[in-house]
Amino acid sequence: MPATAPSLRRFDISGMSDFCEHYRWLLGPQGAEWLRRAADETGRPLSQLERLRKAIGVERARLVAEQIELRRRAVAKFAQAEHLFFTRQGLEQASDCWVAAYKARRFPPGPVADLCAGIGGDLLALAARGPVIGVEIDPIRARLAAANLRSGSRQAPTTPANSGRAQLGSTSLVVIEDAQHFPVAHVEAWHMDPDRRPGGRRTVRLDFSQPRLAVIEALRAAQPSAAIKLAPACPLPESWHRQAELEWIGRQGQCRQLVAWFGRLAEHPGKRRATLIDGTMPDGFVIRTLVGDRDCRAEVASRLGRYIFEPDAAVLAAGLASTLAAEHGLAFLAASSTYLTADHPVVADRALACFEVCDAMPFDLRRVRQALRARCIGRLEIKTRGLSLDPDGLRHKLGLGGPNAAVLLIARCGRSALAILARRLAPSSPSP
């Protein structure tokens, strides 16, 4: 890293003075006091909003009520949600604290940058590891990210101002800046979360995100050590499959994000990785990781075995189901299916849900209903793959009743569908 850190330009936001003034109030001591009062109140939200309007005005009442609502939603993504600030879009796009903590461990201890920082989901985790500069073009999100950094970091970050110069040193800070102008050559690595709603409509394509692909490639040319956060279904440039390590990260059965790791941050360039995070641990504890190449289909079973398996969503998104199948001696239920089957159980791998088959039949509502009634099934988990079925609507049609529980897996096998009545087996222990 050069001896002198770059000087960073900040945008002038004086033209948004009225709007920004309300956010300054929200982030200050008076806003904190009203947030505390509102959080402690019980009663109907509309009544609370009306009381707030009378006390502090329409716009500030809206901001307080919105923050209370967003903080309650954010509990699923942030362990310290009650101390953080959000926008609706910022919360939706932010990495949760467990995934962010896992990702941050890959970065070197020296100064790094978080481009398109949003409200600071990844920024907080990177700041816990070492100095980081958050770069955000939106003045409001930048102010919220700086406030979140003050709340969540041990360091004292700089708050974005209307104008001025900023230096990247030994502390973490946030600047209001267009990511494409940030001098990434002056940091050891950088992270980016491109805006997937630049026009208000969600997209998974890099061509329509902001910054565009050409800007990302220019930044990579200036500093190759980069991590690009993407939607799990994002189509990627063919060159990225060769140059990057592509990692799909899952938590609580959902694939949360895809990260393209480049340069020194890539542990397995040209490979795919599926990683499962334990959301009950505070530091992004890894319970399973799988590395391999793009799916080359494993063998297809000649019949349904005694057990059926569902790979984790991150494994499926990474295209590593065949790698997982080969590791455990499993076969695909059908050429078009993502379910696996075998005559032996696998209960020690958290990348697989294991079910013991109780019955199987062609999918027919009448036959399925009879099978459930014969077993007195009153609680039914329904799983479908490759079929356009509404589980809630199907459950209503099945007329469940009785003290027992079961799982109904409905899988496409060629042109027909197979209904499998099964019992879920609990995992014996986390995978190494």
DSSP string, 127-195: HHHS-EEEEESSHHHHHHHHHHHHHH-SS-PPPP-SS-EEE-SSS-EEEE--GGGS-GGGSS-EEE--B
Q: Residues 191, 262: contact at Cβ < 8 Å?
A: no
Find residue 361's DSSP bridge partners. 419
Residues in contact with 371: Cβ distance below 8 Å, sequence separation at least 6, in sequence order: 359, 361, 421
**DSSP, res 185:** G
The model's confidence at residue 283, banded by pLDDT at 50, 70 and 90, is low
Which residues sit opposite 245 in a β-bridge?
A: 261
How many CB atoms neighbour CB 328 within 10 A? 17
Is 60 exceeded by the pLDDT of residue 358? Answer: yes
Q: Which residue has 């390590």 as its token pair?
A: 245
pLDDT at residue 21 greater than cutoff 90: no
> 202: which 2 tokens?
């969600």
Q: What is the pTM assigned to this prediction?
A: 0.88
pLDDT at 207: 79
pLDDT on residue 159 = 46
Residue 86: pLDDT band with limits 50, 70, 90: very high
Q: For the chain, what percent of residues have pLDDT higher than 90?
A: 75
What average pLDDT does this structure show over 141-161? 72
Q: Which residue has 């569902």 as its token pair? A: 310
- The yes-or-no verdict on residue 17 having pLDDT over 70 is no
A 10 A CB-CB count for 1 gives 11
- Mean pLDDT on 228-246: 96
pLDDT of residue 429: 58
Helix (H) or strand (E) segment spanning residue 353? strand 352-362
> pLDDT band for position 311 (50/70/90)?
very high
Q: Is the pLDDT of residue 50 over 50?
A: yes
- Confidence at residue 46, expressed as pLDDT on a 0 to 100 scale: 74
Q: What pLDDT was estimated at residue 196?
A: 78
Residue 125's pLDDT band, with cuts at 50, 70 and 90, is very high
Q: Is the pLDDT reported for residue 168 higher than 90? A: no
Q: How confident is the model at residue 44 (pLDDT cuts 50, 70, 90)?
A: confident
d(CA 151, CA 157): 10
Q: Hey, what are 299's tokens?
A: 């063998």
Closest of 333, 347, 343 to residue 306, by C-alpha: 343
Q: Which of 55-64, 147-156, 192-201, 420-429 has the lowest mean pLDDT?
A: 147-156
CA distance 172 to 178: 18
Both tokens assigned to 274: 């599926």
Place of tokens 């960073």: 8
Q: If you average pLDDT over every residue of the chain, what do you get? A: 88
List helix spans (H) across 183-244. Answer: 213-222, 238-243
Distance CA 132, CA 111 (A): 5
Q: Grade residue 31 by pLDDT with cuts at 50, 70 and 90.
A: very high
Q: Is the pLDDT of residue 169 over 80?
A: no
In the chain, what percentage of residues exceed pLDDT 70? 88
Quick one: which of 268, 274, 259, 258 has its CA closest to 312? 274
CATH homologous superfamily of 90-292 equals Vaccinia Virus protein VP39 (3.40.50.150)
